[in-house]
Chain A
Amino acid sequence: MSTGWTREQMAARAALDIPDGSYVNLGIGIPELVTRFVPEGREFIYHTENGMLGMGPPPDDEHRDLDLMNAGKKYVTALPGAAYFHHADSFSMIRGGHIDVCVLGTMQVAANGDIANWSTGAPDAIPAVGGAMDLVQGVRNIFVITQHTTRNGDPKLVERCSYPLTGVGVVSRVFTDLAVVDITPDGFRVVELAPGVSFDDVQERTGAAILPPEEQCEGREND
């Protein structure tokens, strides 16, 4: 079968679903690539939970400020129109429903929208949650970008998460290397297949029942 979408193509596909003018929080990893694929004519304003709106790209060495970093503790810049604020205000933006879209990576996402992306629950693991639980509960649209399966080929889209949950029933859409998948009241539903990927390919690599794309209704062009 085809290899499906690359990391960049997954990020670009997710960016297409973010409306112009959105306030956006991006997780670490593939979600960070979204900034490179903002569709022509749209503007997103990036929130970083350690206290800034209007986050810009990484600085060159000459313009680096050690006190200007993102939630992943990487150096960033502030765009014209940026604002700084303290942590309680920052999480009021998150919890209060003011951030439009959050794009996250994950270990598992379940057919009912549960997400597990903070801990494996292993006995020797040091639990570290950061802002993940606040983001998934507070941000209006939770998008997930992830490979469809782990390196070992295990499904990451599952019936029920086996890892400790980050949030219950919070994910709305998943962008994988194989497909765009919605969380619906009936479970996973494919919205779009990557080029060269069949629905059967996706079902085979999904750990739960998955619905095919909704039939295009014929004769509705004039509605």
Chain B
Amino acid sequence: MIDKTYPSVAEAVADIPDGATVMVGGFGASGSPVELLHALIDQGASDLTVINNNTGNAEVGLAALIGNGQVKKMICSFPRSSQSRVFPKLYREGKIELEVVPQGTLAERIRAAGAGIPAFYTPTSVGTVLAEGKEVREFDGRPYVMEPWLKADFALIKCAVADPLGNLTYNKTARNFSPLMCMAAKTTIVQTGQLVARGGIDPEHVVTPGIFVNRIVEVPHPVHEDTLIAEGRSYP
């Protein structure tokens, strides 16, 4: 019987090597896989390229991974927010690279990778600095910019409910990029608040089918990034 469950977050992230490209689910604090990120800090892999919509908040989760010097490059749409301090400092010191991608283009590049489509044309960014150097082609008389797929070696994902096959459901707007990232990474690692037996999720309600998931760790009552920040916590 197929069973993709892992006993701990530490074991689930143990083989992420230096130099890996890692997608991290979440939009701001919602959907951020905090326990998996902290396990990756404990594990210590460095020179990572990380793909997320943002760059983390305060000194926990993704921001802590960046602050620990493990990330050489961020690919994101919005690298600053009111609670984001670690990335802006390193960026201004020239210690971390940044690729800014419009949010919809970021989502579609990730989706394209998962769908086996190497590139696509989008109207987004036409005529702006973010289209400079990129191929532009007209369709029906309107210009479109070519954007390539965006793949990853690993994805770190938080979900609400999973079964041992990796079928997943999410909670509200914590879904965001996660279903796309599950498709686009060679190895998708998921922390779930609740692990149920096969059949425990109605097939009609599955959001991410298990074929896109490789490893599942149950993390009951996961901490929320916003809670850690409100408590003034930092990691490690």
Contact of A86 among B100, B125, B172, B175 (CB under 8 A): B175
- The residues of A that contact B174 with a CB separation of less than 8 Å are 67
Chain A residue at smallest Cβ distance from B81: A73
Interface string of A62-96 (1 = CB under 8 A from B): 00011111100100001000001111101100110
- List residues 27-76 of chain B with CB under 8 A from any CB of chain A: 27-31
* B123–chain A nearest beta-carbon distance, Å: 4
Contact of A164 among B31, B128, B177 (CB under 8 A): B128
Answer yes or no: B124 CB below 8 A from chain A CBs: yes
In contact, B105 and A167 (Cβ under 8 angstroms): no
Number of interface residues of A (CB under 8 A): 39
Give A66 to B176 CA distance when docked, in angstroms: 14
- The residues of B that contact A137 with a CB separation of less than 8 Å are 123-126
In contact, A87 and B30 (Cβ under 8 angstroms): no
In contact, B28 and A129 (Cβ under 8 angstroms): no
Give A67 to B136 CA distance when docked, in angstroms: 38
In contact, A126 and B80 (Cβ under 8 angstroms): yes
* B29–chain A nearest beta-carbon distance, Å: 7
Answer yes or no: A176 CB below 8 A from chain B CBs: no
- List residues 1-35 of chain B with CB under 8 A from any CB of chain A: 27-31
- List residues 110-134 of chain A with CB under 8 A from any CB of chain B: 124, 126-134
Answer yes or no: A52 CB below 8 A from chain B CBs: yes
- The residues of B that contact A131 with a CB separation of less than 8 Å are 77, 102-104
Answer yes or no: B190 CB below 8 A from chain A CBs: no
Helix, strand, loop or mixed for chain A's interface? loop
In contact, B176 and A86 (Cβ under 8 angstroms): yes
Answer yes or no: A48 CB below 8 A from chain B CBs: yes
Contact of A167 among B103, B127, B178 (CB under 8 A): B127
Chain A residue at smallest Cβ distance from B182: A86
* A23–chain B nearest beta-carbon distance, Å: 16
Q: List 25 A-B contacts (CB under 8 A).
A: A48-B173, A50-B27, A52-B172, A65-B172, A66-B226, A67-B30, A68-B30, A73-B30, A86-B107, A86-B177, A87-B176, A88-B107, A88-B180, A95-B123, A127-B79, A127-B100, A129-B100, A129-B102, A131-B104, A133-B125, A137-B126, A164-B128, A164-B129, A165-B127, A168-B127
Could you tell me which B residues sit within 8 Å of A by CB distance? 27-31, 77-81, 88, 91-92, 98, 100-108, 110-111, 122-130, 170-180, 207, 224, 226-227
Could you tell me which A residues sit within 8 Å of B by CB distance? 48-52, 65-70, 73, 78, 84-88, 90-91, 94-95, 124, 126-134, 137-138, 164-168
